[in-house]
Amino acid sequence: MKTKILSLMLLLSVFIFSYDYKELLVGDTKGNIYVQDNIYEVRPLASMTKVMTILLTLDKVNAKEISLDDNVTISYTASKVPYGVKMNAGETFTVEELLKATAIRSSNNAAYALAEYVSHGDVYDFVDKMNERARSMGLDSLRYCTPHGLPPGNTGTCMDQGNAYDIYKLAMTAIQYPEYMKIADKSSDYIKDGTIQLKATNNLLGKVEGVDGLKTGYHKAAGSNIVLTAERDGLRMIAVVMGSEKSKNRDTVGADEINSFFSTYKKSKIVDTNKAIATIKISNKDYSLYPSEDVEEIININNFDASKIEYKFNVIKTLPRKIKNGEVLGDYTVVFEGNEYTGKLQYKESDKISISK
């Protein structure tokens, strides 16, 4: 009896641990969602709020309105924002150092200092810009109240909030910022001439293959949140976990979903410019026709069926008597899982004819 009770308790604890989240989403960079659970519930964002702060700052950098090398003087207000790297009023940090502290260490005072600098001291205006950007991107669940994500008990304002779906879409934008991804990929870094070490709050960096971002978040009302980006063999994915009771449980769910995704899916060429997809016969001679462009799709390794790829060809009616290398002899349409790809059929001189089936 005692053995049975212990086994039941162990099974129950594993079940609870495995499902320790309020929202879960796994998707690719094309907007395809592979795993979803309660992804539209609006919840506190905590420090995932900082993703938008970083993007708005980098927008100003890219517009050359500010520079990564600009020196930012820390205000008294910024110096008093809790839970961040040590910053004294009057001390200076570069914009790049503040970005690193915000992205890697999730420093609240660094995020606040960036908001002050970008908005010329008007943090309320910066938050308005955060919300304007969210609306322009169609991220209607995202409501920003601060540049850092601290709860109302620390700020006296409203709660930064949103859902997993909109955080996923925001991450799809964030990965298009190489400056951000270069920072988010670091598990550790130094600023202020090596006097301040930044240890990443993203515990999966360097531990789970391919993980290169993006942002964690935690406070009591939010629980443990994380939006993860990862890439293996040219295939990139995004995972969002929100509302876990403990960060280690959040990390376990995230790591499991990443490994499961890459063990199930891969990028594959369904149209390859080096493989003929048709032949024509002229004067009893076969000519191989090749597609003009490669087409890559994400396929399920376990149930991919190449026979379900549909090819449609349209060869020109009047063929030349002599066919030159690279000559266009028609066009094609390839249909795969409802998606259509079109291109030109070209002749390539080749000793061997390889026909895709």
Catalytic one of 47, 75, 244, 288: 47
In this structure, are residues 55 and 167 in contact, taking their beta carbons and an 8 Å threshold? no
Catalytic one of 22, 75, 100, 106: 106
Catalytic one of 50, 100, 169, 186: 50
The annotation status of 186 as a binding-site residue, yes or no, is no
Half-sphere exposure of 110 (CA within 13 A, CB side): 27
Tokens of residue 219, six digits = 């406070």
Active-site residue, 260 included: no
The Cα–Cα gap between 50 and 53 comes to: 5
DSSP state of 306: G
The Cα–Cα gap between 274 and 288 comes to: 11
SS3 of the chain: helix, strand, coil, percent, to 5: 30, 30, 35
Active-site residue, 187 included: no
Active-site residue, 244 included: no
Instruction: Dump the DSSP string for 10-77.
Output: HHHHHHHHHT--SEEEEEETTS-EEEEESTT--EE-GGGGHHHHHHHHHHHHHTTSS-TT-EEEPPHH
Handedness of CA 344, 28, 34, 55 (dihedral sign): negative
SS3 219: strand
The annotation places the binding site at: 215
Residues annotated as catalytic (active site), given as ranges: 47, 50, 106
Residues forming the annotated binding site for substrate?
215
